[in-house]
Amino acid sequence: MKQWIQKFLVSAVAVVTLGVITPSHTIWNNLLEDQASAKSQNYGETHSTYIESSFDLPKQEIDLISIAKEQSYEKFGTKVGPKIQNEFDQVIFPKMQEVMDQVLEDLDEQEKQQIAITERPSGNYSEKMFNVYNEATGEDIIRFHVRTENRPLDGYFYNFHYHLADDDFAKHHDLGDVYWSKNTPPKWLS
C-alpha cells in the first residue's frame, strides 16, 4: 500500500505541475530499493528453508558451490548480473570454487559437516558477497568480496577477491576483475 501511495504522489506532482517539477531520481531509486529489499526478504525466507532441508543430508561440496553461486547472483541483482554473468561464470567463479575446495580439503570430516554459507549479501556499494563459516562456532573461514573500482580513463571494474581466517582476514587475495563500463554502476541487489 505504501508503495502505491508513493508512486501516486510522485505522479501527481508531475501531472499537477505539468512537468515543470519532475520527481528526482532519488525518489525513484528509493522506491526501487524498497521493492528490492522486499523481494530479498521473501527470497531469504524461501532460501533458508532450502538450506535447512539440504543440511539434513550430509553436506556435500556441490551444495555449498550451488549456494555460493546463488548468493553471488543475488548480490549482482537484475541490473548487474546479466551484464557480467558470462565472465563471472567462466573466469571468476571457477577460481572461487578452487579456493573453497582447497580450504575444505584441509578440514577434517566433522568440520566439513559444519560448513555453511551466509545467506544475505550486502547491498548498496558494500563488498560482501558471502562468507563460508563454521555453523557450530559461528566463525568465518573465507570471506568473498567484490569491490567497485573507478579507474581513471578506463572506467569501472568489479574486483573480486577473498580474505582468509588463517591471516585474520588481513591479506587481500585477488580472484580477478570484470569490466563494467565508463558509466557509474548501479548499487548491488538492484
What are residue 165's phi and psi, to 5 degrees? -65, -30
**pLDDT tens figures, 48-59:** 433 443 344 334
**pLDDT tens figures, 160-186:** 999 999 999 999 999 999 999 999 999
> Mean pLDDT, to the nearest integer, of 120-147?
92
More confident residue, 72 or 12: 72
> Mean pLDDT, to the nearest integer, of 126-130?
93
Query: Do residues 138 and 156 lie in contact, with contact meaning Cβ atoms separated by under 8 Å?
Result: no
State the chain's mean pLDDT as an integer. Answer: 80
Query: What percent of the chain has a predicted confidence (pLDDT) above 70?
Result: 68
* Count, residues in the chain: 190
Query: Do residues 83 and 180 lie in contact, with contact meaning Cβ atoms separated by under 8 Å?
Result: yes
23 pLDDT higher than 70 = no
Distances (CA, A) of 187 to 36, 76, 166, 184: 11, 9, 31, 9
Question: What span, in angstroms and rounded, lies between the C-alpha atoms of 89 and 107?
Answer: 26
Question: What span, in angstroms and rounded, lies between the C-alpha atoms of 187 and 125?
Answer: 6
What are residue 80's phi and psi, to 5 degrees? -85, -40
Residue 7's pLDDT is what? 65
**Residue 61 pLDDT level (bands cut at 50, 70, 90):** low
